[in-house]
Structure 1
Amino acid sequence: MSIKDTSPVRRRRRAPEEARREAVASARTLLLEGGPTAVTLAAVAQDIGVTHTNLIHHFGSAAGLQSALMGSMVEDLTRALDRAVARLRTDEGAPMELVNAVFDAFDAGGAGKLAAWIVMSGDLSHLDPVRAAVRGLVEAIQEKLGDIDPADAPQVRDAVLFIALSAFGDALIGPPLRGMLDQDADSGRRVVAGLLAQSLPRAAKG
């Protein structure tokens, strides 16, 4: 376990946008290493070498900084889901490729922890930008299956919900839970892919 250097940091002048980017990047690291309570103006100011007053100027409050962090990480999650859609449209490895794409999206950049933080904050409006990406994922799965009977379309949405919930849980508690059960790092993905292999083909026309 590394010990964070708490010695005074030499301050330097930055353009406003540069300062905001550095503050958000620092806040993300603090979130992933110490959880939401670690994301404070004082901690970020110390990390990037600015004054507490300077951060208030840029973000207004700790809540403003946290909101900017949420926005940045949601953008990353949206891009990751978009990449998952692109992979599904070019790769023949479904359902395992499908599962890997979604699990990777929730694992990348701490997106699983971000989602939990947003839910706990009670302000779900931060997740609005993800809506289009999730719908794109549903459409990509439908394309994978070929012609879908309209009556079976809900089954595809069920599949996306199942994969996303599994990926979210794996990102949050997967490592310690797998350790308790003596399972390897990909065990959760294999379970989900196996269940999908049994259900998804039934949604397509024969």
Structure 2
Amino acid sequence: MADLPTPKRRKRSAAQARDEGLIAARALLLDGGPAAVTLANVGKAIGMSHTNVIHHFGSAAGLQTALMESMIRDLADALGDAVSQLHTDAAAPSMLVERVFHAFGEGGAGQLAAWLVLAREYEHLEVIRQAVLDLVDAVKARAPELPDQDSRIPGIVLLIAICAFGDAVIGPHLRQMLGQDGDAAKRLVAQILPLLIVTPSD
């Protein structure tokens, strides 16, 4: 993890301090993993004393919980955007893959999911349940003539999510081993997806 210069301390509202703390915590998670998300590191990143960070988040566990909740909301929003695209955009299948891969990669959902699972914080995953179910319903609406929708569509969503998760967590290392570029997995899933949702009339 890069050792960045410490910003000068300055006055800010409680809401601003909390928002800046969460932004810094997310950057620390993406750059250094869960172990990097500490009160001291967040304080250093935003120019705030350790005591003040505790004031806004209560404890290290409070900071981590707030970060998880913030990132889960962002993931749910990203899935909601994908649902909207499926209803309105002719290029929806490739856009769906793009949105989900972005959420797990640059958005940090892959690192977050790995953190939640390894920490056995499964209850936090319940927050995105409805967003995932909405996504399944949107794919069903997109392919109304697809046989066995109730079994095939959840499988399609599962494939996209697992591929996006794996690409976010270990993809960079595997791509390097295999001589693949950064979009290789995303491109492959986008190519496969139309084959999975093809209808008998196509």
Work out whether the TM-score is over 0.5: yes
Change (3 A) 1:197 1:43: same
Q: State the TM-score, normalizing by the size of structure 2.
A: 0.89
| Distance in 1 between residues matched to 2:116 and 2:170, nearest whole Å | 17
The residue aligned with 2:130 is 132
Unaligned runs of 5+ in 2: none
Change (3 A) 1:46 1:189: closer
Change (3 A) 1:185 1:20: same
**Large movers: runs of 4+ above 4 Å:** none
Change (3 A) 1:191 1:161: same
Q: Could you tell me how far 1:97 is from its partner in structure 2? A: 3.1
The residue aligned with 1:34 is 32
The residue aligned with 2:88 is 90
Q: Could you tell me how far 1:205 is from its partner in structure 2? A: 7.3
Q: CA RMSD in A?
A: 2.2
Unaligned runs of 5+ in 1: none
Letter matched to residue 191 of structure 1: L
Q: How does 1:1-206 map to 2 (within 5 A)?
A: 3-5=3-5, 9-148=7-146, 151-201=148-198
| Distance in 2 between residues matched to 1:132 and 1:187, nearest whole Å | 29
Count how many residue pairs are aligned between Structure 1 and Structure 2. Answer: 202
Change (3 A) 1:91 1:50: same
Q: Deviations over 1:154-196 (max 9, x none)?
A: 1111111111101111111222211211222332123223433
Q: Is the 8 A contact 1:26 1:47 kept in 2?
A: yes
